[in-house]
Structure 1
C-alpha cells in the first residue's frame, strides 16, 4: 500500500519537473559553430565519432545507482549484458541507451565502471558515452561534452523516518547536523549551503550512505528527488525532506538534470543522441521512471 501511494505521488511530481525542465539544452555539445571551434581548439576533434563506423555504442555506468542503473542476474525486463561479466544491467539509463541505439541502428554494450573512473574511461576511449544519471556541471563541462537533458528533478534530503528532521522545511533546520553525500558527486558541493553543517567525508555510493543514515552515523544526506523516492521505497524507515520555496538548496537547472557525457568535440554523436532523446516525450519519460522505481531491486512492498 505504501509503495503504491509513494509511486502515485511521485508520478505527478516528477512529471511536473519534466514538463518544466527535461529535454532542455546542456549547452555543451551539438551547438553553434563557435562552440565547435572552441572544442577543436581545446584538443577535441569536431565530429568523427568511431560509433558511426563500428555501429557499436559503448556506454559506461556504475550499475549500482537505482533507479537509473543497477545490476541483476538475468535479462528480465530487457536487461543488457554487462561486458566482461555474467551479470546484466537495467534501469532508466539502460532503457534510454537502448532507445538511442534503436534509433541509430547501433549495438549497445554496457560497461560497469566505478563513478570516479567514468570520465577517465570516456576520455581514454574505453567507452563512447557515460549514461549514468550524471548531472551537468561547469566543472565537468571542462573535460566532457553533454547531450540534451534526459531527466530533471529537484534536490532534497534523506533522513531517518523517526527523526525530528523528517518534518524539516528549510536548510536552517539542519544547522549543525552531520551530513555527507557520494564522493565527487555534485551533491557534495551543496553541503556547505547548510548553516554550520558538520560535513562528513564523502562515501563511495548511495547504498553505503543510506546505511550510515539508518544507523544514525549521519543525520542526513543530499539526493535528487528521483533517487530519494527510490531510497524510501527500498527503505521504508527513511523519509524524504522537500524544502519550502526559497528555503532549500540553490541549484541550477543544469545541475539538477541528467545528460549523456561524450568526448569533447564529437558533435556528430551528440546530434545522434539528441535526436533519439527527442523522440521520448516528457510524459513517456515519467512513466518509464515510475516503472523503474516499481521494478528496481529490493523494493519493499
Structure 2
C-alpha cells in the first residue's frame, strides 16, 4: 500500500511538472478561418471568433506565448502530424476515427447537428425518409459530412460535400441543394445574418451531439494536461462564460 501511494504521488508530481513546463513555451495553434462564428478570416489576414478567443484565454491561463495560424480544414490533421503547428483549436469534434490519428483534450464545447432548408421547402423533418431523393449538402471531412454521406446517402439521398461551410450555405441559398446538415451553432449564426431571408431550420438531428476538443499530436501529454487544466480554470473563473456570451445567448459547454 505504501509503495502504491509513493507511485501515485510520483505520478501526480510528474503531471504537475509537465503542466508547469508549458509556462513561457511558444505554442503554435491552428484554426481554419472559414467557420463563423467560431473562426473567421478578416481582411487584414487576422482570424477572429470563438475558437480564437478560447485559444487566447487558455494561453493566458497557461502563461504561454501563442501564435494563431490559418490552415485549410482538409489538411488540418496531416499538418499537425508534420509539426507545422502544435495544436488545433478549430471546432474539431472528438471522434473515434480522429482519435486513431491524434490526441484530444477534454471538450471545450458541445453541439448537435441540425438541418436547414429553403423557406419554401416541402421537407417536413430530418429523418432518412424525409431526405430520400433529396440533395443534402455539408462541409467535407466533418461529422456533418460523414452523416450526410454515411446515413442520408445510404438511405437514398445524394450527399454533396464542400471544402468549406461558406460554399455549402451559398449553394443552399441559391437553390442548388435541397437541405444542409451542419453544426447547429454555426448554421444558427448564419441564419441570424446572411441566411435570414432564405431559409428555415427543420431541427436537430437526434443522436448527433458531439464534443469539440483541442487536437494534439499523439503522445504530447504535457501539452494536453496543460490545456485540460486551463479549460477547467477558465470555466471555473467565469472567463469561459464571458466568451460564450459574445457569440451565443445560451450555454454551449
Query: Could you tell me how far 1:168 is from its partner in structure 2?
Result: 2.6
Q: Which residue of 2 aligns with 1:70?
A: 40
Superposed, 1:1-301 pairs within 5 Å as: 52=22, 55-73=25-43, 86-165=44-123, 167-168=124-125, 170-191=127-148, 192-194=150-152, 196-234=155-193, 235-236=195-196, 237-243=198-204, 248-251=205-208, 253=209, 256-281=210-235, 285=240, 288-292=243-247
More strand by share: 2
When residues 197 and 286 of structure 1 are mapped into structure 2, their CA distance, relative to the original with a 3 A threshold, is farther
SS at match of 2:139: coil
Q: Which residue is equivalent to 1:27? A: none
Does structure 2 conserve the Cα–Cα contact (< 8 Å) formed by 1:171 and 1:249? no
Distance 1:217 1:286 in 2: 38
Check conservation: 1:48, 1:266, Cα contact below 8 A.
no
Give the direction of change, closer, same or farther, for the CA distance of 1:54–1:104 in structure 2 (3 Å limit): closer
Aligned-pair RMSD on alpha carbons?
2.6
After TM superposition, the structure 1 stretch with the greater mean CA deviation from structure 2, 199-208 or 106-115, is: 199-208
Contact 1:135 1:257 in 2 (8 A): yes
Structure 1 residue 292: deviation in Å?
2.7
* 1:297 matched residue in structure 2: none
Q: Structure 1: 5+ residue runs without aligned partners?
A: 1-32, 34-46, 74-85, 295-301
Alpha-carbon distance between aligned partners in 2 of 1:55 and 1:125, rounded to the nearest angstrom: 15
1:113 & 1:65 partners in 2: Cα distance? Answer: 12
Contact 1:178 1:219 in 2 (8 A): yes
Unaligned runs of 5+ in 2: 1-7, 9-16
Q: Is the 8 A contact 1:67 1:289 kept in 2?
A: no
Deviation track 1:158-215 (CA, whole Å, cap 9, x = no partner) reads 21122223x5364432222111211111212212323733323411111100111111
Q: What is the DSSP-based 3-state SS (H/G/I as helix, E as strand, rest coil) of the residue aligned with 1:147? A: strand
Per the alignment, do residues 101 and 185 of structure 1 end up closer, same or farther by CA in structure 2, a change over 3 Å counting? same
Q: Secondary structure at the match of 1:200?
A: strand
**1:200-237 alpha-carbon deviations (Å, 9 max, x no partner):** 34111111001111111111111121112112112102
Q: How far apart in 2 are the matches of 1:240 and 1:286? A: 26
Normalised TM-score (structure 1) = 0.69
Local SS of the residue matching 2:38: coil
